[in-house]
A and B are shown apart, each in its own frame.
Chain A
Amino acid sequence: MHIGRPYDIPSSDITPERVYLDRRRFLRLGAAGALGAVVAPGTLGACTPSADTAEDGADPPQDELTPYRDVTTYNNFYEFGTSKEDPSRYAPRLLRTSPWSVVVDGHCARPGTWGLEDVIRPADIEDRVYRLRCVEGWSMVIPWRGFPLAGLLRLAEPTPRARYVEFRTLLDPEQMPMQKTRLLDWPYVEGLRMDEAMHPLTLIATGLYGRDLPAQNGAPLRLVVPWKYGFKSIKSIVGIRFVENQPQTTWMKSAPREYGFYANVNPTVDHPRWSQARERRIGEIRRRDTLMFNGYAEVAGLYTSMDLRRNF
């Protein structure tokens, strides 16, 4: 899939992954926080956890990029199977990502069915490195390529009645074999409050590591909400709906006691069956402390006066 300008560069001009990685390594050697700041100035600079911890002399936890192989072979995408290797095994040959369209409807002035080329506006494409924290207790650092969701939502001109956004994954049991089972209530549905959806950190990813998004990572379009547990970041989106009431998400239906609507990364609120205080960064042996809002403290303002224990 080659859409728009950023993908039109001849392959000879693309930085080889090795060099790309070396550049990352070089950046890491710089001052703590440099990585985030360089990748997305203004949006990430303030949120690197290292800035806080460095002051009291403790070693700041480093964010090294998770290797491409791990990012693309260790996935939760239950439409293709429940083991971590299933999505990379099956999705690339089963999922047809072209042609692809997204139905935008609900409380907005410009509903419609948008083709990928309408959705992905080359000028908005940028690379951003985000931490990803899974509710299961592991985490990665992923260099996404994509654009802020806010721009896309504005195109639809949501009306004042739009208080939430509901997202829907493709429903096609032929392409997504597990949809033939009743493992979950298909299609996968997720949602965000309007202010969360419009937050500059909220991304629609179209790629990672400077390449097109692999099928197992949610091609061709997926959500990335870095301060929330990974299951909020819905994959292979075909529907975006502006709604008045809080959407009932797939995992809320499946296990309401365990998975809430907000699902903000929060080390002080345990999952009923395990602690969320620490996490295993893929590639590391010992667990590291989980950071409030996954280290993206600038979103705290969205939740003032909310009891995050009840709104887990």
Chain B
Amino acid sequence: MWVLCLLPAADLAWRAVRGGLTANPIEFITLRTGYWALVLLMATLAVTPLRRLTGYNRLARFRRPLGLFAFFYATLHFLTYISLDRFFDFRDIGDDILKRPYITVGFAAFLALVPLAVTSTQGWIRRLGRNWTRVHRLVYAAAALGVLHFYWKKSAKADISEPIIFAFVLAGLLLVRVLSRPSRRPRTSRQDGDV
């Protein structure tokens, strides 16, 4: 799975070497990293529903690495914007975040992912105990904001098919989650955090 998750990054690196990043490399890198961040975020959110539907509990071990890879691509996406795109012009970046709704929500989505990545270690899971689950509900916000970011970026450019697909996938995953909710169990057995 590591290999699979690293493929998009490897593809970018390979293209960078042989000059295949199109005429506008910065835009290309930004689009690709953002796209894969969303795909992997969806994959992360698919683990629990799949596990419930199939009863194959070993799937759970994929959840953390998938989430971290989503964060990895989101970070690349964000860093590309900060460095290559805006050249550390923080006034410009501040303006963007305040004035451009699609950047505002994209930034918010990224911020929401940061605590999730930080608290993804065994140590933090133990330390936070039951609160870990609560903290990690932020992932829903991050996913929704991420899809909205993509939608607003594309809307009125007429080409909204991809964001719409993401929206449907996300809605579907949440629906499955709600419908397949396990019957109430005593609280003590829910330490694993059903995110």
Q: Is the CB of A280 within 8 A of B24?
A: yes
Q: Which residues of B contact A121 (CB under 8 A)?
A: none
* Bound form: Cα–Cα A285–B27 in Å: 11
Q: A273-B102, A274-B100 are in contact. Are A184 and B158 (CB under 8 A)?
A: yes
Most buried by A among B22, B101, B158: B158
User: Chain A 273-303 against B: per-residue CB contact (8 Å), 1 yes, 0 no?
Assistant: 1110000101101110000000000000000
Contact of A282 among B23, B101, B156, B157 (CB under 8 A): B23
A74 near B23: Cβ-Cβ < 8 Å? yes
**Does any Cβ of A come within 8 Å of B152's Cβ?**
yes
Q: Given the complex of chains A and B, what is the CA–CA distance between A78 and B158 in angstroms?
A: 10
Q: Compute how far the CA of A274 lies from the CA of B102 in the bound complex, rounded to whole angstroms.
A: 9
A84 at the interface (CB under 8 A from B): yes
Question: Smallest distance from the beta carbon of A174 to chain B beta carbons, Å?
Answer: 21
Interface string of A78-119 (1 = CB under 8 A from B): 100010110000000000000000000000000000000000
Beta-carbon contact of B26 and A280 below 8 Å: yes
Asked if B141 is an interface residue, CB under 8 A from chain A, the answer is no
User: Which residues from B are CB-within-8-Å of A282?
Assistant: 23-24
If the complex has contacts A273-B100, A285-B84, are A255 and B24 also in contact, measured as CB distance less than 8 A? no
* Nearest CB on B from A195, distance (A): 29
B22 touches A286 (CB 8 A): no
Which A residues are in CB contact (< 8 Å) with B100?
273-274
Q: How far is the CA of A237 from the CA of B62 in the complex (A)?
A: 53
- CB of B95 within 8 Å of the partner chain: yes
- Inter-chain CB contacts under 8 Å: number: 49
Within 8 A of A (CB), among B89-106: 95-96, 100-102
Contact B159 A183 (CB under 8 A): yes
Is A70 an interface residue when CB atoms closer than 8 A count as contact?
A: yes
Q: Is A73 an interface residue (CB 8 A)?
A: yes
Partner of B95, one of A73, A82, A138, A275: A275
Q: Is B14 close to A, CB under 8 A?
A: no
Q: Are A73 and B87 in contact (CB under 8 A)?
A: no
Residue picked from B26, B27, B153, B157, most chain A C-beta under 10 Å? B157
Judge whether A62 is part of the interface by a CB distance below 8 angstroms: no
- Interface hits, B79-93 → A, CB 8 Å: 84, 87
Query: In the complex, what residue of chain A is closest to B28 when comparing beta carbons?
Result: A84
Give the complex CA separation of A69 and B158 in angstroms. Answer: 27
Given A273-B100, A273-B102, A286-B87, A74:B22 Cβ within 8 A:
yes
Residues of B in contact (CB 8 Å), total 18
Roughly how many angstroms separate A183 CA and B156 CA in the complex, as a whole number?
Answer: 10
Q: What is the minimal beta-carbon distance from B179 to any residue of chain A, in angstroms?
A: 33
Instruction: Name which residue of chain A comes closest to B31, CB basis.
Output: A83
Could you give, for residues 216-258 of chain A, a 1 whenever the CB lies within 8 Å of some chain B CB and a 0 otherwise?
A: 0000000000000000000000000000000000000011011
Scoring B residues 13 to 35 as 1 if CB is less than 8 Å from chain A, else 0, what string do you get? 00000000011101100000000
Please give the distance in Å from B162's CB to the nearest CB on chain A: 9
Q: Is A84 in contact with B102, judged by CB distance below 8 angstroms?
A: no
Cα distance, A184 to B160, chains bound together (Å): 12
Closest CB in chain A relative to B149 CB, distance in Å: 12
Contact A255 B156 (CB under 8 A): yes
Which residues of chain A have C-beta atoms less than 8 A from B102's C-beta? Answer: 273
Q: A275-B95, A286-B87 are in contact. Are A73 and B23 (CB under 8 A)?
A: yes
Give B63 Cβ to nearest chain A Cβ, in Å: 32
Given A273-B102, A286-B87, are A85 and B159 also a contact pair (CB < 8 Å)?
no
In Å, the complex CA distance between A152 and B66 comes to: 60
Binary contact readout B152-171 vs A (1 if CB under 8 angstroms, 0 otherwise): 11001111000000000000
Interface centre among A255, A273, A274 (most CB of B within 10 A): A273
Chain B positions within 8 Å of A, measured between CB atoms, are 22-24, 26-27, 84, 87, 95-96, 100-102, 152-153, 156-159
Which 7 pairs across A and B sit closest by C-beta, in order of nearness? A74-B23, A255-B156, A70-B23, A82-B159, A282-B23, A183-B158, A258-B156
| 20 A-B contact pairs sorted by A residue (CB < 8 Å) | A74-B23, A74-B24, A78-B158, A78-B159, A82-B157, A84-B22, A138-B24, A255-B156, A255-B157, A255-B158, A273-B100, A273-B152, A275-B96, A280-B24, A280-B26, A280-B27, A282-B23, A282-B24, A286-B87, A287-B87
Given A78-B158, A285-B87, 12 new contacts (CB under 8 A): A66-B23, A74-B24, A82-B157, A138-B24, A138-B27, A183-B159, A255-B158, A273-B153, A273-B156, A275-B95, A285-B26, A286-B87
